[in-house]
């Protein structure tokens, strides 16, 4: 199962939220590019980057910062947050982003998905379904979609979408365990490739998710649990942090709560 570290950007900084609540924001590093280097040095094979400002406004506020991350790394980067037009998708793919994640627009403008899949491969266009009690939320998780999570997935599947990033909002950023049952139920009904997200906080969670590989769950996005050093192997990595090349910044991050 592919483990994908998450980098959420708000006001140009690397942050984590709790259940998508912007009032519960914790800053881990002032420069998200440094965080990207850290995860790559720790052997990440892919990164998940979200422009939280864009998720609220629809404006590509942190585009330059994301472009810098893409140019610095040699691994695939998938990007989400407020991507609601063909032009926005083109801008990201043109700078080398591997996958673009469409969230709110999949609900409010499904025609956009059809248009994108005429131009791009299904491997480049991913739909993000962020669900609370089985109901997708949109616009930075501030509004309900009015349909079931699997219903949205099946609509997207008809349009040609092959992969969904499924987030259990009730678990996101809580460090209380992955939403195993909700993810299992969704994957069973959707019958698609699924990247799980939200709540994975231990090695046990990863072992549980591996039981869902037969249902198409082949990867997991992990955020706060990585930042808070919830995995034993991280202590070995940080014992050699002098080799990361950004010692001062990383030490500051630890003082702020990253692996302290």
**Torsion sign across C-alpha atoms 160, 164, 66, 44:** negative
Separation in Å, CA 187 to CA 127, 143, 166, 234: 14, 23, 9, 30
Domain of residue 151, residue span: 2-256
Crossing angle of helices 63-72 and 32-41, in 10° steps, is: 30
Other residues' Cβ atoms within 10 Å of the Cβ of residue 62:
26
- Token code pair at residue 58: 């629809």
- The tens digit of pLDDT for each residue in 46-101 reads 999 999 999 888 889 999 999 999 999 999 999 999 899 999 999 999 999 999 99
Over the chain, what is the mean pLDDT?
85
What's the pLDDT score for residue 19? 59
Residue 87 φ/ψ region, left for φ over 0, alpha for ψ in the -120 to 50 degree band, beta for the rest: alpha
- Token code pair at residue 76: 């695939």
**What is the total count of domains within the chain?**
1
**Torsion sign across C-alpha atoms 200, 206, 210, 211:** negative
Q: Grade residue 18 by pLDDT with cuts at 50, 70 and 90.
A: low
What's the pLDDT score for residue 256? 41
Residue ranges of alpha helices (H) inside the chain are 32-41, 52-57, 63-72, 86-94, 104-108, 110-119, 149-159, 180-190, 203-210, 224-227, 232-239, 247-256
Residue 190, SS3?
Answer: helix
Average pLDDT over residues 103-115: 93
Distance of CA 25 to the CA centre of its chain: 16
What's the pLDDT score for residue 179? 81
What's the pLDDT score for residue 250? 41
What's the pLDDT score for residue 233? 65
What is the set of active-site residues?
8, 130
- The tens digit of pLDDT for each residue in 168-225 reads 887 765 566 788 899 999 999 999 999 999 888 888 888 889 999 999 999 999 988 8
Q: What is the Cα–Cα distance from 236 to 103, expressed in whole angstroms?
A: 36
Here the CATH number for the domain that contains residue 151 is 3.20.20.70
Residue 109, SS3?
Answer: coil
∠ CA 22-24-30 to the nearest 5 degrees?
A: 80
């Amino acid at each position: 199962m592919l483990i994908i570290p998450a980098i959420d950007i708000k006001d140009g900084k690397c942050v984590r939220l709790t259940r998508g609540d912007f009032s519960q924001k914790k800053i881990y590093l002032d420069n998200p590019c440094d965080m990207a280097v850290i995860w790559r040095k720790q052997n990440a094979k892919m990164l998940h980057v979200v422009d939280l400002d864009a998720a609220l406004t629809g404006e590509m506020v942190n585009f330059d910062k994301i472009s810098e991350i893409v140019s610095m790394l040699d691994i695939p980067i998938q990007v989400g947050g407020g991507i609601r037009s063909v032009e926005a998708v083109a801008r990201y793919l043109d700078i080398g982003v591997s996958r673009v994640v469409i969230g709110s627009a999949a609900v409010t403008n499904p025609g956009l998905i059809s248009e994108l899949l005429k131009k791009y491969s299904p491997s480049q266009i991913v739909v993000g379904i962020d669900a609370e009690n089985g109901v997708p939320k949109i616009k930075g998780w501030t509004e309900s979609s009015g349909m079931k999570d699997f219903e949205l997935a099946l609509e997207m599947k008809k349009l040609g979408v092959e992969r969904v990033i499924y987030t259990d909002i009730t678990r996101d950023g809580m460090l209380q365990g992955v939403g195993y049952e909700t993810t299992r139920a969704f994957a069973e009904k959707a019958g698609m490739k699924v990247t799980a997200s939200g709540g994975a906080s231990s090695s046990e969670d990863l072992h549980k998710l591996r039981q869902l590989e037969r249902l198409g769950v082949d990867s997991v996005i992990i955020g706060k649990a990585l930042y808070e050093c919830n995995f034993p192997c991280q202590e070995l990595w940080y014992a050699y942090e002098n080799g990361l090349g950004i010692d001062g910044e990383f030490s500051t991050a630890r003082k702020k709560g990253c692996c302290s």
